[in-house]
Amino acid sequence: MTHMTYSKPWYRSRGIWGAILGAAGTIYGLWAAALPCGPEQTLHNYASAAITMYGAYLAFVGRKTAAQPVHFFWRRKVDASD
């Protein structure tokens, strides 16, 4: 069954924020790889992996619980399934 609803803004989407965090964690990991070897680099590598994994988790949960489509510029009425 479907019903009419308004789309939600992109900044309220867990899936979008998960993708942003995943990309940020990857970029942070690439930057951490340029550091000299030592305990600080290891700490940065683990932090990068944690940020990326949390981003992937958030994107997965956001996709599984999504009830409304996302809009980037303006709201519009859309058919949403129950």
Residue 37, pLDDT above cutoff 90 = no
Number of folded domains in the chain? 1
Q: How many CB atoms lie within 10 A of CB 55?
A: 20
Query: Over the Cα atoms of the chain, what is R_g?
Result: 17
7 has a pLDDT exceeding 90: no
Domain that holds residue 23: 2-81
Task: Decide: 71 and 9 in contact? Cβ < 8 Å.
Answer: yes
- One-letter amino acid at 76 equals R
The model's pTM:
0.73
Q: Which of 58, 71, 66 is nearest to 11 (CA)?
A: 71
Q: How confident is residue 58, by pLDDT bands cut at 50, 70 and 90?
A: very high
